[in-house]
Structure 1
């Protein structure tokens, strides 16, 4: 039976992703909405980069997987998902006489700010270096935005560790290990940017393991002041599929002391645990899906 893992998280961070900019001004990646506000975002590609970076740092994911062939940077022809967790989770395209394509089993959304950008700027100089040589310093301006952000991840558990292009099917133990490592990375996610390390550990997370691959709570996260709107989340959890309400599969993790309507969140969803408890619970369900043993870590 096919199952998927999906969750939507809220994090708090600042200035997560810059675009091309102009002159000596670095612009944040952003877009406009019909409400008249401008919102910043970190692209799914930037999130993917940091997931893979941390996968390598924490679990030794193989990054020696890329070559340049006929002017194109791509994964090496001789490698399969058995050699690369990255290729397994995020897919690949190998061009050539016999082009091979494998879709991603892990889908990430952009991390979109929940608070509008109001044009804040930061003025920078390299005065410390310039003074050493008695030179004039160089000047720069960068857009600055501290906000709550939300993003969604969806994992098709039935396709992790399986590649029909190369007739590869990994053992269930390894398939579980790869998803487990991904969850550990997402729980401790961070972004290195412009000399800063931004903490992307979730403050709130909602989701679970479902009988259908759908990012249910994507686009349902809204803030009203420092309160999290509950109704869109409750109504989404009441969706049904194959006669089953998605509410029975949905779990919520919450960091206490962040949102002003904390008691309302707990009342709406019943058993609300910590973010750590959420990740432990979904990891246990992933282990059950693959039929492998998993011992919950002790706090």
Structure 2
């Protein structure tokens, strides 16, 4: 039977993704909800960018696999998933022009690892940062340039789903189970210490809370079920939506029986309530260690 990982994460970050801006105002990427609030986000493309960056920095992922020889920036034909973990996990599209020996068209590999956007769990309330380059201007006796930048410190949530059966398989290319397990475990290690470089800052995107496991179907069970509420000056994780997700049963898959939780102690006000959600609640390091062990068991390595 097929197996997939899905995990939903809560982390804390500040001003993670900017859009085009207007004049000298840098605007955060935001969504509007019918509750009248704006919620900032870091797009799935931004998260994937930093996963790739850390994959190269830590594990030596080969990112030198693209060019513009066909008029658009895309992956080179000579590279396959055997050469590129990035292409294996996040997919690709290669196009070909019609010619004497080529019918044209495109070759597409769908992403095996699918990310959602990271959405803030606290509404944006129009905080702004006033900026200038006064230090540089003073050196040459000039007036400084001025700018404004939207700021938002918040908890965020995102979800990742990884189809374990499709890792390392692409047409005639079939990798060994040891290599498949290595690639998935490297991705999990990156998620554990994920960070983002933006505007002179390095933001820590590693989980403060993570819920998930390995299931018989590829489905983001906890996407849209993660929320926060304030009680006595502390943030609590809303447990009722998570309980409803844990109660789901489909085919032979009981979500609760296959789910673990990782939690950084001392952050959220209802830790005792969180510990009652599932049988296995531990630190974030223990969560990833257990998940990697189950990946190895599934691939038989």
Fold agreement, TM-score > 0.5: yes
3-state DSSP class of the match of 2:77?
coil
Partner of 1:295: none
Counterpart CA distance in 1 for 2:224 and 2:134 is: 43
Structure 1 unaligned blocks of 5 or more: 293-299
Partner of 2:99: none
3-state DSSP class of the match of 2:88?
helix
Partner of 2:101: none
Counterpart CA distance in 2 for 1:12 and 1:223 is: 12
Q: State whether structure 2 residue 202 is matched by structure 1 residue 193.
A: no
Q: State whether structure 2 residue 132 is matched by structure 1 residue 125.
A: yes
Partner of 1:79: 79
Partner of 1:152: 159
Aligned residues: 290
Partner of 1:103: 110
Counterpart CA distance in 1 for 2:37 and 2:215 is: 34
TM-superposition CA deviations, 1:49-68 (whole Å, max 9, x none): 00000000000000110110
Displacement over 3 Å in runs of 4+: none
Partner of 2:17: 17
Q: State whether structure 2 residue 193 is matched by structure 1 residue 169.
A: no
TM-score where L is the length of structure 1: 0.96
3-state DSSP class of the match of 1:269?
coil
Counterpart CA distance in 1 for 2:279 and 2:216 is: 22
3-state DSSP class of the match of 1:178?
helix
Counterpart CA distance in 1 for 2:209 and 2:30 is: 23
- Report deviation, 1:144: 0.0
Partner of 1:239: 248
TM-score where L is the length of structure 2: 0.95
Moved more, 140-149 or 61-70: 61-70
Partner of 1:249: 258
Partner of 1:290: 299
Q: State whether structure 2 residue 12 is matched by structure 1 residue 3.
A: no
- Report deviation, 1:98: 4.1
Counterpart CA distance in 2 for 1:155 and 1:177 is: 14
